[in-house]
Chains A and B, each alone.
Chain A
Amino acid sequence: MKAPPPFGPIEPLLFERGASGRRAVRMGESDVPAVPAESLVPSFALAPSPPPLPELSEIEVVRHFTRLSRRNLSVDSAFYPLGSCTMKLNPKANERTATQPSFARAHPLQPARTVQGILEMLESLERFLAEITGLDAVTLEPAAGAHGEWTGLRTVFALYRERGESRSVVLVPDSAHGTNPSSCTICRFRAAPVRSRPNGRIDLDDLRARADSSVAALMVTNPNTLGLFESDIGSCAEILHKAGAQLYLDGANMNALAGIARPGDFGVDVMHLNLHKTFSTPHGGGGPGAGPVAVKSHLEPYLPRPRLLQGPAGLRWDWDRPRSIGKTRSFYGSFGVLVRAYAYIRTLGPDGLRGMAEDAILNANYLLSRVRKFLPVPHPDGCLHEFVATASDLKARTGVRALDVAKRLLDWGFHPPTIYFPLIVPEALMIEPTETETRETLDAFADALESIVEESARDPETLRLAPHLLSPSRPDEVKAAKDLKVTWGTDSCGPMKRVDNA
C-alpha cells in the first residue's frame, strides 16, 4: 500500500514533464510572405530543427513554477536575519514604480530627447547617492556589489597608471568579506592582510607599518563585519593619504550609517553601495542587484562611460571621456533596480533615511540584549546594525554547531543568520534584523534561538539532523561536488582532471 509522501511529491523537472507536440504559446498568423527558411539563412548556418527544448502546455508551466515558488522562504513570508545582507521589506510601491510600461519598454539607444524623464531620474539618483555618501561623483553602471567593488578598484588602478606610480598592493583586513581579495586579484593587485585587533577593528600599528609607496589602497567595511564602527577610520585615512594611497569602503553596511555619518567625511576616496541591501531592492533569489560606485573628484575622470551630461537641450549620454576606464557592462546599468532605489529614497526622504539607520541599530541592539543572555556575543559593545554571536561554547559542551542551530531555525520558520562569517569568530552567527521588523518578530526569533540552545543540552541528535519539518533536509554537498551533476540528462562531470591547453 502506498502512502502520500509526507512533504508532498517531489516536483519533477521540466524535462520530466510535457509531451511531443505540446505548446503553451502561439504567435499568430504571419502577415508577411512565407519565405522558406532555406532562402533566408545560408545552409552553413541553418539548423534543420530547433533546439530540443521541453514541449509543455501552459498549465504544466504554470503549475510547475507556481509549485517551485511555494517551496521557498522569502522576505515576504519570513524573517531573514542574515548578517551583512540587510534583508528588509521590499516595498510594493517600488515594484509598481519600476514596472511602469514606459520604463519597461524604453530602449537604451533611444534619442535622449525621448527619455528625459528617465535621464532626470538617473541624474537625481546619482546626486542622492553622492549626498548620502558625502562623495563627489557616482556611477550607476555596476550590476552588483562585487561588480562595483571591482569597478572602484579599477579606477584606482587607472589613477596610478596615469600617474606612473607602481603600486601593486591592496591592504585588506583579515575580517573582510570574500569578494574583497578576489576583486584585487583580477585588477592585478596583490591583496595583503592587515591585522585586526581582537575586537575586529583595524590594528593601526600594523597599518602604519604596511602603508608604504607600494600600497594602492586599503579596503575596509565600516561598520566592520562585527557590526562595530571603525572609530580609528579617520586615522586610517590619514595614514593612507600620507602614503599616497586611497581608502576604499565596502558600503555593504550603509544601513547603519545613512544620515548619521558620511564616508566622504571620514576620509573615504571610493566606495560601492549595494542597492539590494540598504536601498530595499529585492534580492530575486540571487539577483539582479546593483552596485553603484561613488568617488571623490580626483577619481571622477576614470569612471565608466558614458556619463550623464547636462546640455542646452537637456540631459544626454556623454561618451567623450578619454580618461575613463571604459565600460564595465552593456548600456548604463540595471535600470529596473535603479528605479526601485530611486522610489525608495523619494519615499523615505532625509528623515526617513536617518530613521531607517537609527531603527536598524535599535532593532539589532534589542535583539542583541535578548540573545546574549543565552549565547555568547564576543564583541557586544558598540554594535550598530548587526552583531555576531558564537556557538563555539555550545559546540564544546554539546557537539551542536552553528550549522545545526541554523538548520533547526528553519523548523521554526525563520531563515537562519549568516553562519561561519566573519572568520575571526569561530562558529559565528552573524545577525542583522534590519529596521522593518516588529518587536514581536524579534522576540519570536530570540525565543526560538533560546529553545534551540536548551534543546542542544537535552537532545543534540535532533539538532544534528535538523530540519525535520522541511524537505529536503541536509542535502549531501560533498556528493554534489564530487559527482558533479549540473545538467539534466547527462552523466556527472567528476572527478575530472581540469584540462589545460584544451
Chain B
Amino acid sequence: MSYVPHTDADRRAMLSAIGVSSVEDLLRGIPEPLRLRRMLDLPPALAEPDLERHVDAISARVRTSPGLVSFLGAGCYDHFIPAAVDALANRAEFVTAYTPYQPEASPGILQAIFEYQTLVCLLTGMEVSNASLYDGATALAEAARLGLEATGRNRLLVSPLVHPDAREVLATALQPSGAGISLLSRKGSATVFEPASGEPLAAVLVQQPNFLGGVEDLAKASALARSLGALLVVSANPISLGLLRRPGDLGADVVVGEGQPLGIPPSYGGPGFGFFATRRAHVRRLPGRLVGETVDRRGDRAFVLTLQTREQHIRREKATSNICSNQALMALRGAVYLSLLGPSGLREVALECARKARFLADRISRLPGFSLPCEGPFFHEFAVRPPVPVERLLDRLLDEGFLGGVPLGRMFADLGDAFLVAVTERRTRADLERFLEALERCAR
C-alpha cells in the first residue's frame, strides 16, 4: 500500500510515452555498484485496519492523562483546549497547504500569520513579531544571537532559573561562535539581578515565570541591562501574560517563549512553536519568516512573505540564522486559542492557575514533613520537599494514579530532594484533594 494510484495499464502507457520498457531503464544513471540489490529490512506493509490495530496496541502501552492526574510542567503544560481550535486548525486547507511563497495561492494563511504576529505583539507588549520559530528554546537562542549581533559584544548574562534545557540549547548554539555565558545567582526561586564584573555584555536573559515557577522582578532585570548597556531578553510563559505585566511594558528588548500552552496539547513535547517579538529598531534582525501588508495590482489589501532576502534562502553566507520554516500550523492554533479566549478569558485561565497552585502549595506545606524549599511568589509551579526520597514518593504516587511532579535533582544540586509541581486550570478541586491525601499516604 503506497498511495500510488497507478494500475499496471497506467504504468505501461506511461513507460511507452517515455519510450522505455521499464522503470529500471530510468535508473541507468545510478552506477550499479551503488544500487541496493535487496529489499529494505523493514516490517511488511500494514493495511489500514491492521495499522489501526497496531496503533491501538501501542496506545495501550501508554498511561497518561486523564487516567493519570498530571501535575507535570517544567516547560510543557496541560491546559484546556476549546473544541473550536481543533475544528478550525485541523481543516485540510490549513494542514495540507505549503509555505505561502506564492501569495495568490495562500492569502488565507498569510493573513492568519499576520494576525498571529499582531497577537504576539499585543500579548507581549512589543512592536514586531516574526511568523514563529521551532520552539521556545530555539527562540531564546535566536534572541541571544540578535543581542550579540546588535551590540557587537561577545558575552551573555543568563539567569540560572531559565529552563536548564533552554540553557543547554543556547550553549550548543553558541559554542562555535565562542560567545561566553555568565550566570547570575539565585535566591530561592528568584534571580538576583546584580551586575557581573568582566567583559561588556550583549544581553541579559531571564525567564518569566522562571523554571521553579518564581515570578521575577523584570523592572530590576531591565535596570540591570540598561546599566550594562545590554539588551534585555525575556522568555515568557504566554498564559502567565493574562495576569503578569507584559515584558514589553517593563523594558524588554526581545520577548520570546514557548507557545505550546496556547491551544496545543502536551504531545510528548512537540511540535509546539516559539514566539519571537522585538522592537522596530531590530526588525531587520528578526530570524525566520515575516509576513507584511501591501496592496495588489487592483489596489486590494494583500499579505506577502517579506524581507526574504534576510532569510537564508537568498542571503546564503551572510544569513542571520538558517531558519527556513515557521511552525505555521502550531502558530495558527495559538492564534485561534487567543481569539477564542480574548483578554478576559486569558485572565480567567491565568488567575485560575495561580489560585489553584496557591491553594495546593498552602495545603502541601501543612502536610506532615512536607515543605516548600523556595520562598517567593510563584505563578502556577512550585518546588516541594517531601519527607521521603523523591523518586520513591513519585513511584508510589504513580501507582495511586498521579503524575506527581518533575524531580529537580538533575537540574539543581541543592534541590535533589525536591520535585516541581505544576497546577493548571484543568485540575479540579477534587483532583487536588485526592492528591493531597495520596501525598500524605505515600510519604509514610
Contact = CB atoms under 8 A, between A and B. Distances in A.
A309 interface: no
Interface string A75-117: 1110010100101111101011100111111111111001111
B14 to A, nearest CB: 4
A187 interface: yes
29 contacts: A15-B118, A27-B425, A41-B243, A45-B245, A65-B339, A70-B108, A73-B97, A73-B106, A87-B98, A100-B55, A105-B65, A105-B265, A105-B266, A107-B76, A260-B30, A260-B35, A282-B95, A331-B76, A343-B55, A356-B4, A361-B26, A363-B14, A382-B28, A410-B102, A473-B104, A486-B117, A488-B115, A490-B127, A498-B282
The 8 A-B pairs of least Cβ separation, nearest first, read A331-B269, A349-B45, A117-B61, A284-B329, A108-B269, A178-B313, A382-B29, A182-B319
A257 to B, nearest CB: 9
A368 B18 CA distance: 8
A169 B352 CA distance: 54
B284 to A, nearest CB: 5
A436 B6 CA distance: 9
Interface residues of B, number: 222
A56 B93 contact: no
B26 A32 contact: no
A96 B49 CA distance: 12
Interface string B35-73: 110011111111010011011011111111110101010
A353 interface: yes
Nearest to A39: B358
Interface stretch (A207-215, A240-248, A451-459, A464-472): A464-472
Contacts of A438: 5-6, 10
A61 B96 contact: no
A35 B40 CA distance: 62
Interface stretch (A228-236, A293-301, A392-400): A228-236
Nearest to B329: A284
Given A50-B347, A76-B96, A472-B298, A14 B34 contact: no
B54 A346 contact: yes
A382 B311 CA distance: 32
A234 to B, nearest CB: 6
A480 B304 contact: yes
A501 B394 contact: no
Contacts of A177: 313
A329 B109 contact: no
B246 interface: yes
Contact of A104 (B100, B266, B403): B266
B3 A89 contact: yes
B135 A329 contact: yes
A52 to B, nearest CB: 6
B394 A111 contact: yes
Given A23-B345, A146-B325, A484-B307, A58 B84 contact: yes
Contacts of B95: 74, 76, 90, 95, 282, 284-285
Given A68-B112, A146-B325, A480-B306, A116 B1 contact: no
Given A27-B352, A45-B245, A182-B321, 13 more contacts: A41-B354, A45-B215, A50-B242, A51-B241, A53-B339, A53-B342, A71-B106, A108-B270, A331-B268, A350-B42, A438-B6, A493-B128, A496-B283
Nearest to B106: A72
A310 B336 CA distance: 40
Interface string A313-344: 00000010000011111111111110000010
A499 B282 contact: yes
Interface in A1-35: 10-11, 13-15, 18, 22-27, 30-35
B197 interface: no
A299 B323 CA distance: 24
Contacts of B418: none
B283 A486 contact: yes
Interface in B172-207: 172-173, 175-177
A489 to B, nearest CB: 7
Nearest to A14: B115
A345 B41 CA distance: 12
A365 interface: yes
Interface stretch (B162-170, B381-389, B435-443): B162-170
